[in-house]
Amino acid sequence: MTNPTPAEFRLPTPGCYADPERSGLKAGELFDGMTEHLFFTLGKLAPSATKHDLYMALSYAVRDRLMMRYLVGKQALRETPRKTVAYLSAEFLIGPQLGNNLVMLGIEEAATLALRQFGVRSLDTVLEVEEEPGLGNGGLGRLAACYMESLASLQVPAVGYGIRYEFGIFDQLIRDGWQVEITDKWLKAGWPWELPQPDEACVVGFGGHTESYTDAKGHYHSRWVPVEHAIGIPHDVPVLGYQVNTCNRLRLWRADATESFDFYAFNIGDYYGAVEEKVGSETLSKVLYPNDGTDEGRRLRLKQQHFFVSCSLQDMLRSFEKRQIPLEEFPQHWAIQMNDTHPAIAVAELMRLLIDEKYLTWDAAWSITSRCLAYTNHTLLPEALEKWNLPLFASLLPRHLEIIYEINRRFLQQVRLRYPGNNQILRTLSIIDEDGEKAVRMAHLATIGSHHVNGVAALHSELVKTNLMPEFSALWPEKFTNVTNGVTPRRWLALANPKLRALLNEVIGEGWIQDLDQLSKLEAFQDDKNFLERWEQTHLAAKRNLSNIIHRRTGILVDPTSLFDVQVKRIHEYKRQHLNALQVAAQYVRIKEGCADHMPPRTVLFGGKAAPGYYMAKLIIRFLNGIADTINSDPDMDGRLRVLFLPDYNVTTGQCIYPASDLSEQISTAGKEASGTGNMKFALNGSLTVGTLDGANLEIRDRVGKENFFLFGYTATELRNLHQDGYRPWEVLARQPLLQQVVNLVTQGHFSNGDREMFQPLIHNLTHCDPFFVFADFEDYLRAQEDVSQAWLDRPRWNRMSLLNCARNGFFSSDRSVREYCEHIWKARPFPVEVKCELPSVT
């Protein structure tokens, strides 16, 4: 991307813009802003202010600084329209905002000094008060957050569109080793980072029927007559770029009822009926990812997707009308990215809005739609590609189903011309799945309606073309591309690892924060013994911090000088936490038998949530905790091995874990992980990786050097061949005596307090089916862990490998990813804005 000349925008003299209490970045100015908000916003006097009061006051003072940049940029875009990126995502795992915004403004020290005037000695005291926003769950939502931050840092105009969930997915407790889900009430104490905009609400319909009619000119039209409506109230969250004036926004929709209270129902004694519509409508934005194991859960999830997509598209069209730009130019002004299949209904909804409400012809509407929309695929698991059965879809979105049928009819006609007489390819490519219960394939709809389809790692994108969608790729090879994921260095190093940031700033300067490729300057120190010792001490400080957190949260004492071996991510069979658990149990057996004298002390840390309806994932959590309880209570393991499961893994916890990790476990079955971003965060902080050739692991290994990566396991091609040849896990088990010992201990109840039945479903699945090739990769995984132990014992070698993992990680910045999207998919350019404040004249 080229850097255009900044647009100069001169503020129109309202005094608050130039008022230091609202825009100044010095400690005294922040203190004055906090004092004002304590008094006028919170109704508190400083002497009686609690830590939460001070957090709110500082957050409001920082938000004032963001608002000046946000409003200036908004006005500049209004006067000089530029192409804007609309990022549609069901999740935005943005993490706590205060600390990140202090980094973006460069005022952490000023905030610390301001707080000292209130008697608070440490900024962390206030940062710890902030609740984790429950707006996302895993990598999908965290990627969206990184991209929004990078868009702002690169000064590209953008809006993130999603849902303002009242409750997050859940808070996780561990009771008797099992996951227990409790309500994530993240909004209970207020959230100072959002700005409700009720005057920009949108109305969304559901259900009902369609009607056909002819207008005064004799043109045929259809109209949708919904039986149910909900109002979407936008709540804007400012997203500031690093050390720039660009402040984009995350627009989250809260659902409300068109009529909140039925007086007639109330007056006749039907008290529930009086608020039934309000309760039903507000359910749309109540909780992230309702359980789709029931008909009602699936219905709610589809309604959620249509709700936020419709609101977002209406919002874009409304902004267009306000600027009085012809609709035909819509693709020149909006680039709409669908983050996975959750927003795929956008294809049909944009067509509906353009045809039914803007009265465009089909061809004109399709031209606009297909030139605006692009689709990111995030999974290679066929079962994870959303499909909606036709009765459900027709009952909720009858007009959209009509439009999908017409899209499909026109598309299949193109396919017939390309492949005459080939009925099988028609069935394969059709948006409507005809096999079994008929359903709408949302990935097919997204692919057909988009100008680009991208995977999120080189291997993943290749497998999308060759395995997942080979027929689509053959039809439109130019449509398929790759953009490897990235992570923001601001949150995941500058904020999360302040001691390493200080060391980097000292030796290579601060430029790496905006240009992560500058980390390559660290390679000059790879043979510097004194620097490597400083590198190790910096890492040890992060490990001591995590050790203290672990003790506070679990009561378990861990040795910060031991090897911290970490696997934190969503719990899923393909991510293979159970492979790691079996390996840990094998190490336990070897220590008990006196066969591990040269194994260095290890602390093995797990973390992650299982979907509430995913039984096997929840059983894996119980398995991890059962192994941990057994090992941690065995005196023979003292000073040798510790295992723990840290509950409620989230962004806040991740910011403590990534800097402290020595070994990153990226052990998913080859060909199953789309990319991963945890692997990038670990390497960015100097952690070494033990992993398979899966997702972005390949690219990380290529860049950090194969000698600095612990590789094991079958490749995706080898596993495919193994499956085709008839994989028999019981035969693999019979050839591995140590694995047999571990499995026998599990079946005998050694890790479940004598309960022989508890883990039987897990062991039965592995020995009779093993769909993710745990047994197949076990022996080589154990070999790789031996290599890890030997490398750890050679401290200079380990420190050098750690340094090079960080130094060669510049490619995996979300800034690079966003540049690639801008250049190859969105065709969007930076729009820098310079702010020149004018004080009002005094007469």
Residues 6+ apart with CB under 8 A from 122: 112
Q: Are strands 602-607 and 641-645 parallel, antiparallel or unpaired?
A: parallel
Q: Decide if 565 contacts 659 (C-beta within 8 A).
A: no
Give me the residue label for tokens 């696997």: 567
Picking from 170, 168, 166, the residue whose alpha carbon sits closest to that of residue 190 is 166
Alpha-carbon distances of 103 from 92, 109, 152, 538, 559, rounded to whole Å:
20, 10, 14, 20, 31
First to last CA, the chain: 47
Q: Which residue has the tokens 């004249």?
A: 841
The total of other beta-carbon atoms located within 10 Å of residue 471's CB is 12
Please tell me the distance from the alpha carbon of residue 59 to that of residue 96, in angstroms, as a whole number. Answer: 11
Contacts of 376 (CB under 8 A, 6+ apart): 337, 338, 339, 340, 453, 454, 455, 456, 483
* Residue of 249, 460, 569, 703 with catalytic role: 569
Q: CA torsion 22→24→29→31, rounded to 10°?
A: 70
Cα–Cα distance, 601 to 590 (Å, whole number) = 13
Is residue 688 within 8 Å of 801, Cβ to Cβ? yes
Quick check: helix, strand or coil at residue 441? strand
Rounded to whole angstroms, how far apart are CA atoms 288 and 81? 34
List residues bridging with 236 in a β-sheet: 195, 251
Is 543 a residue of the active site?
no
**Catalytic site includes residue 416:** no
- Number of helices and strands (H, E) in the chain? 35, 25
CB 207 within 8 A of CB 195: no
13 carries an active-site annotation = no
| H-only helix segments in 517-647 | 529-554, 577-592, 615-632
Do the Cβ atoms of 450 and 375 come closer than 8 Å?
yes
Element (H, E) at 62: helix 51-79
3-class SS of residue 642: strand
Structure tokens at 316: 């874009």
Assigned token pair, 46: 């400083």
What is the enclosing helix (H) or strand (E) of 195? Answer: strand 195-196
Per annotation, catalytic residue among 306, 681, 750, 819: 681
CA 497, CA 736: separation in Å to the nearest integer?
41
Among this protein's residues, is 570 annotated catalytic?
yes
In this structure, what token pair is assigned to residue 695?
């997702």
- Of residues 63, 69, 251, 378, which has the active-site annotation? 378
Q: Look up residue 137 and give its two tokens.
A: 């769950």
CB-hemisphere CA count at 13 Å for 50? 6
Catalytic residue (choose from 677, 692, 701, 703): 677
Whole-angstrom CA distances from 751 to 318, 596, 737 are 60, 20, 19
Annotated catalytic residue 569: yes
Q: Which two tokens stand for residue 713?
A: 């396991």
Q: Rounded to an integer, what distance in angstroms lies between the CA atom of residue 1 and that of residue 829?
A: 6
CA distances 149 to 3, 83, 698, Å, are 18, 17, 26
Return the exposure string of 565-583: e unless at least 16 CB atoms fall within 10 Å of the residue's CB, then b: bbbbbbbbbbbbbbbbbbb
Q: Which residues contact 732 (CB under 8 A, 6 or more apart)?
A: 770, 775, 776, 778
Residue in the structure block whose two tokens are 């990769």: 777
**Run of H or E including 710:** strand 709-711
Q: Is 286 a catalytic residue?
A: no
Q: d(Cα 302, Cα 292) in Å, to the nearest integer?
A: 10
Tell which residue, 228, 224, 72, has the closest CA to residue 157: 72
390 forms bridges with which residues in the sheet? none
- By annotation, the residues acting in catalysis are 378, 569-570, 575, 677, 681
